[in-house]
Amino acid sequence: MRPKHKKLPNKLSALIRIAVKDLELAEQSPNVEINMSQWHTVDRYSKKCMVCFAGGVIRGFMEDTDDRYEWDLIPTKYHDRLMSLNEVRHGNIPLALREMGITQYDKNKVRRRKVVTYHENPTKFKKQMLSIADVLERNGL
Protein backbone atom coordinates (compact mmCIF):
# COMPACT_ATOMS: atom_id res chain seq x y z
CA MET A 1 0.00 0.00 0.00
CA ARG A 2 1.19 3.53 -0.67
CA PRO A 3 0.21 6.86 0.81
CA LYS A 4 -1.88 9.33 -1.19
CA HIS A 5 -1.31 13.06 -0.78
CA LYS A 6 -2.87 16.05 -2.43
CA LYS A 7 -1.67 18.52 0.21
CA LEU A 8 0.49 18.64 3.33
CA PRO A 9 -0.20 20.30 6.70
CA ASN A 10 1.35 23.62 7.72
CA LYS A 11 2.13 22.39 11.23
CA LEU A 12 5.40 20.53 11.63
CA SER A 13 3.93 18.25 14.30
CA ALA A 14 1.24 17.00 11.90
CA LEU A 15 3.76 16.67 9.07
CA ILE A 16 6.02 14.49 11.22
CA ARG A 17 3.09 12.21 12.06
CA ILE A 18 2.32 11.81 8.35
CA ALA A 19 5.99 11.10 7.60
CA VAL A 20 6.11 8.36 10.26
CA LYS A 21 2.96 6.72 8.84
CA ASP A 22 4.36 6.95 5.31
CA LEU A 23 7.67 5.50 6.50
CA GLU A 24 5.79 2.55 8.00
CA LEU A 25 3.95 2.01 4.71
CA ALA A 26 7.28 2.08 2.88
CA GLU A 27 8.71 -0.48 5.32
CA GLN A 28 5.87 -2.85 4.42
CA SER A 29 6.43 -2.58 0.68
CA PRO A 30 8.66 -5.25 -0.85
CA ASN A 31 9.65 -2.81 -3.61
CA VAL A 32 10.89 -0.09 -1.25
CA GLU A 33 14.09 0.17 0.75
CA ILE A 34 14.63 2.76 3.48
CA ASN A 35 17.84 4.66 2.82
CA MET A 36 18.13 7.95 4.67
CA SER A 37 20.67 9.27 2.17
CA GLN A 38 18.23 9.06 -0.76
CA TRP A 39 15.16 11.27 -1.12
CA HIS A 40 13.33 9.07 -3.61
CA THR A 41 15.30 7.21 -6.22
CA VAL A 42 15.61 3.77 -7.78
CA ASP A 43 18.59 1.56 -7.01
CA ARG A 44 19.97 0.56 -10.37
CA TYR A 45 20.94 -2.91 -9.13
CA SER A 46 18.06 -4.04 -6.94
CA LYS A 47 15.49 -1.90 -8.83
CA LYS A 48 13.95 -1.04 -5.46
CA CYS A 49 12.76 2.44 -4.70
CA MET A 50 14.94 3.98 -2.00
CA VAL A 51 13.36 6.59 0.24
CA CYS A 52 14.35 8.65 3.25
CA PHE A 53 12.06 10.09 5.94
CA ALA A 54 10.75 12.75 3.54
CA GLY A 55 10.93 10.33 0.61
CA GLY A 56 8.08 8.31 2.07
CA VAL A 57 5.98 11.47 1.85
CA ILE A 58 7.19 12.06 -1.72
CA ARG A 59 5.79 8.62 -2.63
CA GLY A 60 2.36 9.93 -1.66
CA PHE A 61 2.41 12.42 -4.52
CA MET A 62 3.12 9.75 -7.13
CA GLU A 63 0.26 7.88 -8.71
CA ASP A 64 1.30 4.25 -8.67
CA THR A 65 4.97 4.02 -9.46
CA ASP A 66 8.24 4.11 -7.58
CA ASP A 67 10.42 3.82 -10.66
CA ARG A 68 11.49 7.43 -10.91
CA TYR A 69 12.50 10.45 -8.91
CA GLU A 70 9.98 13.16 -9.57
CA TRP A 71 10.61 16.19 -7.38
CA ASP A 72 8.57 18.13 -9.93
CA LEU A 73 5.46 16.10 -9.06
CA ILE A 74 5.46 17.72 -5.64
CA PRO A 75 4.01 21.22 -5.58
CA THR A 76 6.76 23.80 -4.97
CA LYS A 77 4.92 25.11 -1.94
CA TYR A 78 5.72 21.81 -0.18
CA HIS A 79 9.46 21.71 -0.85
CA ASP A 80 10.20 23.60 2.40
CA ARG A 81 8.19 21.05 4.36
CA LEU A 82 10.13 18.16 2.88
CA MET A 83 13.39 19.93 3.71
CA SER A 84 12.13 20.43 7.26
CA LEU A 85 11.58 16.67 7.62
CA ASN A 86 15.18 16.12 6.65
CA GLU A 87 16.23 18.40 9.51
CA VAL A 88 13.87 16.70 11.96
CA ARG A 89 15.44 13.31 11.33
CA HIS A 90 18.75 14.83 12.43
CA GLY A 91 17.12 16.33 15.53
CA ASN A 92 17.62 19.89 14.31
CA ILE A 93 14.17 21.17 15.21
CA PRO A 94 15.04 24.91 15.11
CA LEU A 95 16.30 24.60 11.54
CA ALA A 96 13.30 22.47 10.56
CA LEU A 97 11.01 25.25 11.80
CA ARG A 98 13.07 27.87 10.00
CA GLU A 99 12.75 25.85 6.76
CA MET A 100 9.00 26.29 7.16
CA GLY A 101 9.35 30.00 7.84
CA ILE A 102 8.63 29.68 11.56
CA THR A 103 10.90 31.76 13.77
CA GLN A 104 8.66 32.63 16.73
CA TYR A 105 8.49 29.86 19.32
CA ASP A 106 9.68 29.13 22.86
CA LYS A 107 13.34 28.28 22.33
CA ASN A 108 13.55 26.80 25.85
CA LYS A 109 10.93 24.17 25.05
CA VAL A 110 11.62 23.56 21.36
CA ARG A 111 15.28 22.89 20.73
CA ARG A 112 17.73 20.55 19.04
CA ARG A 113 17.44 16.93 20.18
CA LYS A 114 19.73 13.95 20.00
CA VAL A 115 18.12 11.20 17.93
CA VAL A 116 19.22 7.75 16.84
CA THR A 117 19.53 7.15 13.14
CA TYR A 118 16.86 5.07 11.49
CA HIS A 119 19.40 2.40 10.60
CA GLU A 120 20.63 2.13 14.19
CA ASN A 121 17.16 1.41 15.52
CA PRO A 122 14.10 1.94 13.30
CA THR A 123 11.59 1.51 16.15
CA LYS A 124 13.35 3.98 18.43
CA PHE A 125 13.80 6.43 15.54
CA LYS A 126 10.04 6.45 14.87
CA LYS A 127 9.25 6.83 18.58
CA GLN A 128 11.65 9.76 18.79
CA MET A 129 10.05 11.40 15.76
CA LEU A 130 6.62 11.05 17.36
CA SER A 131 7.99 12.42 20.63
CA ILE A 132 9.29 15.47 18.75
CA ALA A 133 5.84 15.83 17.18
CA ASP A 134 4.28 15.73 20.66
CA VAL A 135 6.57 18.53 21.91
CA LEU A 136 5.83 20.62 18.84
CA GLU A 137 2.09 20.04 19.15
CA ARG A 138 2.10 21.09 22.82
CA ASN A 139 3.73 24.32 21.66
CA GLY A 140 1.24 24.96 18.86
CA LEU A 141 3.68 23.97 16.16
Does some domain include residue 29? yes
Does some domain include residue 124? yes
Does some domain include residue 2? no
Does some domain include residue 1? no
**pLDDT per residue as tens digits for the range 78-99:** 789 989 999 999 999 999 999 9
Cβ(132)–Cβ(113) below 8 Å: yes
**pLDDT per residue as tens digits for the range 101-110:** 999 999 888 9
Does some domain include residue 4? no
Structural domain span for residue 49: 12-138
| DSSP string computed for the chain | -----S---SSHHHHHHHHHHHHHHHHH-TTEEE-TT-SEEE-TTT--EEE-HHHHHHHTTSSS--SS--GGGS-GGGHHHHHHHHHHHTT-HHHHHHHTT---S-TTTS-------TTT-HHHHHHHHHHHHHHHHHTT-
Q: Which pLDDT does position 78 carry in this prediction? A: 79
Does some domain include residue 5? no
Does some domain include residue 108? yes
- Specify the number of domains making up the chain: 1
